[in-house]
Structure 1
């Protein structure tokens, strides 16, 4: 079946994978807004809360928000702290240089383009990032787990992403991601094709095989065209 929609993971896919030490990130954020003798304790509370919420997402497929994170940590976020958090993360959110041409190429083929991300961040933060990097207008729809009850690999998350781009047949949809379990297993379980962009850090999941594996985003169009011609 020809491809009607391609839906992308965000972190590690549209944005190249970065190894990040979360504890250090929180220390940098807290150091700008807390007394020096409070920084370690507050940063540790925020790290513990974030890891617990990611655990729930991984093991129970339950979504979470930044509000949930700060509430669990017992920290009251100020607008200034949130601004610092966004700023500290900025070097790790730059879109892959190959992405704009790829998304444009899909649109030129009449293929809908979407995003489905496991994230605690708001839609507003993600759209700021996409607008900054010049790709917001190339997206037909996006779903962020912070706005729905589920995380990938729950099938309802993939159905929500299909709805967001106006696709109704999973067999005509492709999901592109870097996580064999969340992205490829989740997509294929929901009836979509799965394309893996592997990195060395994400755990393997050998119970499912991707329909294609690409080392770089700009390798995707060859598979899309091959499936369209089949």
Structure 2
């Protein structure tokens, strides 16, 4: 069996896992949106996001950033929202830096004729992810990316994985490798669709974010650089 594509999760995989206080992201947004009512806004946004991720976890339904803002009773447009988004992104900036192994790994995969893809469960828009990848000199090394903020489903739903395959121009799941840090979303989901699954076990996944089953990976790597020899063996 050969390998035509390697598709990666983003948060906790291509960018290292960072523990954060979850409300702080919304506190940054809310203070910029309306500093006179920021704590009430934080509570509403936190509840809206919690419900969005519950639906993603239990029903694998996707949503996006503006939908969460709207569900919190705010207007996802105009100057206040724009200030909030800028503050939100500034909060996340230090938590989004790409693992140093990524550029040499992606370069080596593409030199071998192996397509590189990204599939991320995310509410963030494509342009924000691409801003991050461009900042870290990664964007031009990605052959295709799917962000669930743009589609109907989240991992582990098979349609999310099939969308990622289409994005990199591959039709056979058995010729794809998926790399991720979550045993439910990434490993279980990839195996269910027929991909090889590689686990990067460095993220501390809160119990509330775990699914009902842990997938069994085909392999475990302790750092992304360890993936290349594994892919070379599978390519035969």
- For 2:202 and 2:53, the matched residues in 1 are separated by 19
- Runs of 4+ aligned residues of structure 1 deviating over 6 Å after TM superposition are none
Q: 2:100 aligns with which of 94, 97, 101?
A: 97
- For 2:170 and 2:131, the matched residues in 1 are separated by 25
Q: How does 1:133-212 map to 2 (within 5 A)?
A: 133-202=136-205, 207-212=214-219
**Any unmatched runs of 5+ in structure 2?**
none
Query: Residue 33 of structure 1 aligns with which residue?
Result: 33
Matched, 1:4 2:9: no
Residues 146 and 206 of structure 1, relative CA distance in 2, 3 Å threshold: closer
Q: Could you state the TM-score of these two structures normalised by the residue count of structure 2?
A: 0.93
Residues 123 and 200 of structure 1, relative CA distance in 2, 3 Å threshold: closer
Contact in 1 for aligned 2:17/2:203 (Cα 8 Å)? no
**Any unmatched runs of 5+ in structure 1?**
none
Q: Report the Cα offset of residue 25 of structure 1.
A: 2.1
Q: How does 1:35-114 map to 2 (within 5 A)?
A: 35-36=35-36, 38-77=37-76, 78-114=81-117
Contact in 1 for aligned 2:117/2:144 (Cα 8 Å)? yes
Matched, 1:216 2:219: no
Q: Report the Cα offset of residue 4 of structure 1.
A: 0.4
Query: Residue 225 of structure 1 aligns with which residue?
Result: 232
How many residue pairs were aligned?
228
Q: Report the Cα offset of residue 222 of structure 1.
A: 1.3
CA RMSD of aligned residues (A): 1.3
Query: Is 201-210 or 113-122 further displaced after alignment?
Result: 201-210
Q: Could you state the TM-score of these two structures normalised by the residue count of structure 1?
A: 0.95
